[in-house]
Amino acid sequence: MSKFIKRDFATSFTTTLFLVIGISGAMMYFHFYDSKVKELHELLGLFFVGAILLHVFVNWASMKKYFSKKIFLIASAVTLITAGFFVATAPSGENPKGTILNKVINAPLEDSLKVLNVEYDYAQITLENNNIKIDKKQSIMQVAKDNNVSPFKIVAIITGK
């Protein structure tokens, strides 16, 4: 493969991945997304790192000159300081959504069903139709473990989502 083809390949992938990651990141920031956009953003982010490394490798001679420019050093410093600030000031502890989720799936089944706005009898029939046995004394997590399924599948079945 010629040097120009390698350059074109690296630059094309770097550019297109940058655009898709930028657009999906903006969608996530403004909450115009679902879980698929987040998955796409994360997966293509990994490919983007590879494309960047390939781009730098095939363009090393010109990149070496660019990396020594004062503007690049300033931009790098500003970016690293900003990223460091965000990481250092990020709230620590468990995500509140995770806390709520853990409470719901580990609470007694009757309590969890109240939160999910589902009647016990309906949940029992719906789960039994899916070959999942339940007991009022169990939690969603215990039902999931006893039936070798995800607790999210249990919730999806009883809520119809």
- pLDDT tier, 46 (very low <50, low <70, confident <90, very high otherwise): very high
Burial label, 11 (beta-carbon count in 10 A; 0-12, 13-18, 19+): middle
pLDDT digits (tens, 9 = 90+) for 62-112: 888 888 899 999 999 999 999 999 888 887 777 788 888 889 999 998 899
Q: Do 113 and 120 form a contact (C-beta atoms < 8 A)?
A: yes
What pLDDT was estimated at residue 26? 93
Residue 160: which of 135, 107, 133, 123 has the closest Cα? Answer: 123
Structure tokens at 161: 């989502």
pLDDT digits (tens, 9 = 90+) for 144-154: 999 999 898 99
Its pTM stands at: 0.54
In degrees rounded to 5, what are phi and psi of residue 138? -85, 165
Residue 157: which of 114, 109, 124 has the closest Cα? Answer: 124
pLDDT digits (tens, 9 = 90+) for 116-125: 899 999 999 9
What pLDDT was estimated at residue 2? 75
